[in-house]
Amino acid sequence: MAKRSKKAFYVTTPIYYVNDVPHIGHAYTTIIADALNRFKKLLGNEVFFLTGTDEHGQKVERAATEKGLKPIELADQVVGRFKDLWKALNISYDFFIRTTEPFHEKSVQKIFQKLKNKGDIYKGIYKGWYCVSDENFLAEDVPLEEGGYKICPDCGKRADVVSEECYFFKLSAYQKPLLDFYAQNPTFVRPPSRMNEVISFARQGLKDLSITRTSVEWGIPVPDDADHTIYVWFDALHNYLTGIGYDWNMELFEKFWPATVHLIGKDILRFHAIFWPAFLMAAELPLPQTVFGHGWWLKDQTKMSKSKGNVLDPHIILKTFGADPLRYFLLREVPIGLDGNFSHEGFVHRVNSDLANDLGNLVQRTLIMIQNFFSGKIEETDKEEKGDKEIRLEFERLKEKVLNFYENYALSRALEEIWTYIKSVNKYLAVNEPWKLSKDQSKRKRLGRILYQAEAALRAISYLLFPVIPGSSEKIWNFLGEEKPIEEELFSELKFDNLKLGQEIKKPDPLFPRIALKDFLKEEETQPSPARKEEKMEYINFDEFKRMDLRVGEVLEAEKVEGTEKLIKLEVDIGTEKRTMVAGVADVYSAEELVGKKLVVIVNLKPAIIRGIESQGMLLAAEVEGKATIPFFDKDVLTGAKVR
Ligand code: MSP
């Protein structure tokens, strides 16, 4: 393979599942990637920034069924939501990959075939437990709960039993090569605590990994064995290759591969730091330079996630504040490796204090004074005095520190330093009191010097902030009358006095509106929750409801339907007659335990043939994480009683 150019920088985000709309957690990874992407471009690197969506697998398949959609229909809808959000957040990715695109599917099949031909993939039988939420096979040592089921140790949800023929990847053969690789590349996983976590996991022994399913239809078919679909993680991880041209634009691929950094949340570290390098070793491809596992955004001390119902919809914040305050807050509030707790109070406080007060005020007062005292253009200044020089030198030191912090993913530290400098410039103005000098004609050049220093500092500050708050930085840059786009100045060429004398400023608009906490909370409360918003309630009238014949039915007999995992055939007494019904509840209830139970059935639903059996009605059940929970009565009720 041709050698990757030294200037190439390839950054990726995880590809997000399309089972639900994006939230702040997803936005976080993508914002970090965007900041790195913009920073590296300022350094003169050739950057490729990949993001996208992970569209196959059981989780998406189930979510689509619940919504009465085909998986691809759900994916199309949710992809639109992701793309809209990235636009609203000013994310400048280079390519958006969808795993349902034919070029990706074809390449994954080719790689699968290659590994199979090499003997790294072989056929066998998988018996074990599977967590649909994490799309993950549970380790054997996860204990059985009293009810005879297992709980996923990562997300706490109930796992499903899987027993099927499948293809395995020989992960065990890569244990030693992986451990050797980690030893030679101690910064492969960052931060270091996560590298240790990965090493100790790999040292415990790696078992071969099931990488196909026969019970999941929504996936890439295994070449020449279409009863099997490829495991969603095998499929998804390869997006990092196919999204950069592997197999369809090899020139592009060779320019950027291996990836400089895969940015991920710590929840998916093992997939990226163990499975992924093993797959790549098997495919004889170079390994990525770094996998960076960032922390989680929590709400009320719990990880923000759809299933916990505690996600924050970024659109509400965007509507009230715009992109930059959110970008700034997420990157400033906590170092990337740690968890952060999102609170509305914290958000409003940080944004009002740092952006509206410190930065916003500095921009406003500097530019207004230049406007008022010099009609928008400083033509002459006197020489730098000690305090003026200090502002320039402090900037030169700041520039080096920021470079170093940005390079090392310490974005919050970089912002902290930039704010120390903003405060110094504000203090410089307060000490020199240019508003007083303006009254004395003999101090004009001195006044010019002070406002020039403040203006030059602002130019430099807006440049350093560009990766994090690009929209506002560009605005400041333009207020200063700069003509060339901000991205065209190379970081190495950035100097305090790059600001030309005699440059005419533009009238500034307010940059960051100050929002009162109570107004923000009001806005948040008036929004339907993301889950409810999706539902779009379609009302029926009472007459329509009355047409449904809902009754108490008593189960007289029950037996599992042969050859299925979930179906039970029931004989149900509905008060007037006996009916046969087929219910998909065998993964939760045994046939025996249902006999004698009274439950709610709808008896005038048009009969349907299910697995050759005519189902003459349907029992009602709540759906909890894809599983049925049947409501039973807490008092004895008459069989056949109406339910209304
Ligand atoms: N589809 C897989 C990834 C495949 S990559 C080859 C997946 N998708 S996901 O939709 O669940 O997104 C996971 C990623 O979203 C996390 O790794 C993290 O980057 C981000 N976040 C989701 N919730 C988060 C928080 N509450 N906090 C911070 N980031 C989190 O896993």
542: Cα separation from own chain's centroid: 43
Range 148-158 average pLDDT: 88
Closest residue (by CA) to atom 21 of ligand 1? 25
Q: Is 304 in the pocket of ligand 1 (CB under 6 A)?
A: yes
DSSP letter (8 states) at residue 152: -
Q: How far apart are CA 458 and CA 453, in angstroms?
A: 9
Residue among 322, 310, 263 nearest 23 (CA): 310
Apex 584 CA angle, 580 and 587, nearest 5: 130
Q: Is 268 in the pocket of ligand 1 (CB under 6 A)?
A: yes
- Round to the nearest angstrom and report the end-to-end CA distance of the chain: 70
Cα torsion angle, 134, 136, 138, 139, sign: negative
Please tell me whether residue 57 adopts helix, strand or coil conformation: coil
Range 296-315 average pLDDT: 80
Q: Is 273 in the pocket of ligand 1 (CB under 6 A)?
A: no
Whether 529 shows a pLDDT value over 70: the answer reads no
State the chain's mean pLDDT as an integer: 92
Helix, strand, coil in percent for the chain, rounding step 5: 45, 20, 35
**pLDDT at 536 (0 to 100):** 52
Q: Identify the band that residue 626 occupies on the pLDDT scale cut at 50, 70 and 90.
A: low
Measured from the Cα of 268, ligand 1's closest atom is 17
In this structure, how many other beta carbons lie within 10 angstroms of the beta carbon of residue 221?
16
Whether 130 shows a pLDDT value over 80: the answer reads yes
For residue 313, give both structure tokens. Answer: 């919809």
**pLDDT at 428 (0 to 100):** 98
Residue among 392, 473, 467 nearest 428 (CA): 392
Pair 365, 426: CB distance under 8 Å: no
Closest residue (by CA) to atom 19 of ligand 1? 265
**pLDDT at 206 (0 to 100):** 96
Q: What is the pLDDT of residues 438-455, one digit of tens each?
A: 999 999 999 999 999 999
Q: How far apart are CA 144 and CA 146, in angstroms?
A: 7
Q: How far apart are CA 437 and CA 445, in angstroms?
A: 10
Instruction: Give every CB contact of residue 137 below 8 A, 6+ residues apart in sequence.
Output: 126, 128, 129, 130, 131, 162, 209, 210
Q: Is 14 in the pocket of ligand 1 (CB under 6 A)?
A: yes
Q: Is 28 in the pocket of ligand 1 (CB under 6 A)?
A: yes
Q: Is 253 in the pocket of ligand 1 (CB under 6 A)?
A: no
Closest residue (by CA) to atom 2 of ligand 1? 16
Alpha-carbon dihedral 598, 602, 603, 609, rounded to 10 degrees: -100
Q: What is the pLDDT of residues 154-167, one digit of tens each?
A: 888 899 888 899 99
Q: pLDDT exceeding 90 applies to what percent of the chain?
A: 75
Q: Is 270 in the pocket of ligand 1 (CB under 6 A)?
A: no
Apex 422 CA angle, 421 and 428, nearest 5: 90
What's the CA-to-centroid distance between 153 and ligand 1, angstroms? 17
Q: What is the pLDDT of residues 533-588, one digit of tens each?
A: 444 566 777 777 888 899 999 999 999 988 778 889 999 999 888 999 999 898 88
What's the CA-to-centroid distance between 14 and ligand 1, angstroms? 6
In this structure, how many other beta carbons lie within 10 angstroms of the beta carbon of residue 258?
19
For residue 643, give both structure tokens. Answer: 């339910």
What's the CA-to-centroid distance between 83 and ligand 1, angstroms? 16
Q: What is the pLDDT of residues 582-603, one digit of tens each?
A: 998 988 889 989 999 999 999 9
Whether 532 shows a pLDDT value over 50: the answer reads no
DSSP letter (8 states) at residue 330: H
Q: Identify the band that residue 531 occupies on the pLDDT scale cut at 50, 70 and 90.
A: very low
Host H or E run for residue 201: helix 192-203
Q: Is 236 in the pocket of ligand 1 (CB under 6 A)?
A: yes
Q: How far apart are CA 409 and CA 290, in angstroms?
A: 11
Measured from the Cα of 13, ligand 1's closest atom is 19
**pLDDT at 304 (0 to 100):** 79
Whether 611 shows a pLDDT value over 90: the answer reads no
- Residues forming beta bridges with residue 11, ordered by sequence position: 49, 261
Range 316-336 average pLDDT: 94
Measured from the Cα of 267, ligand 1's closest atom is 17
**pLDDT at 537 (0 to 100):** 62
Closest residue (by CA) to atom 7 of ligand 1? 16
**pLDDT at 526 (0 to 100):** 62
Residue type, 440: D
What's the CA-to-centroid distance between 531 and ligand 1, angstroms? 18
Q: What is the pLDDT of residues 33-70, one digit of tens each?
A: 999 999 999 999 999 999 999 999 999 999 999 999 99
What's the CA-to-centroid distance between 266 and ligand 1, angstroms? 9
Closest residue (by CA) to atom 8 of ligand 1? 16
Q: Identify the band that residue 235 occupies on the pLDDT scale cut at 50, 70 and 90.
A: very high
**pLDDT at 525 (0 to 100):** 64
Host H or E run for residue 395: helix 386-407
Instruction: Give every CB contact of residue 252 below 8 A, 6+ residues apart in sequence.
Output: 48, 244, 245
**pLDDT at 634 (0 to 100):** 82
In this structure, how many other beta carbons lie within 10 angstroms of the beta carbon of residue 206?
20
DSSP letter (8 states) at residue 213: E
What's the CA-to-centroid distance between 236 and ligand 1, angstroms? 13
Closest residue (by CA) to atom 29 of ligand 1? 25
To test the ligand 1 pocket, which listed residue (12, 13, 16, 132) has its Cβ within 8 A of the most ligand atoms?
A: 16
Cα torsion angle, 54, 57, 63, 69, sign: positive
To test the ligand 1 pocket, which listed residue (26, 86, 338) has its Cβ within 8 A of the most ligand atoms?
A: 26
Whether 377 shows a pLDDT value over 60: the answer reads yes
Instruction: Give every CB contact of residue 155 below 8 A, 6+ residues apart in sequence.
Output: 131, 133, 134, 307
In this structure, how many other beta carbons lie within 10 angstroms of the beta carbon of residue 226?
8
Q: What is the pLDDT of residues 397-408, one digit of tens each?
A: 999 999 999 999
**pLDDT at 534 (0 to 100):** 43
**pLDDT at 517 (0 to 100):** 84
The dihedrals phi and psi of 615, each to the nearest 5 degrees, come to -95, 115
Higher pLDDT, 385 or 610: 385
Q: Is 334 in the pocket of ligand 1 (CB under 6 A)?
A: no
In this structure, how many other beta carbons lie within 10 angstroms of the beta carbon of residue 606?
6
Say if pTM beats, i.e. exceeds, 0.75.
yes
Apex 157 CA angle, 313 and 121, nearest 5: 105
Whether 625 shows a pLDDT value over 70: the answer reads no
Whether 411 shows a pLDDT value over 70: the answer reads yes
Whether 2 shows a pLDDT value over 60: the answer reads no
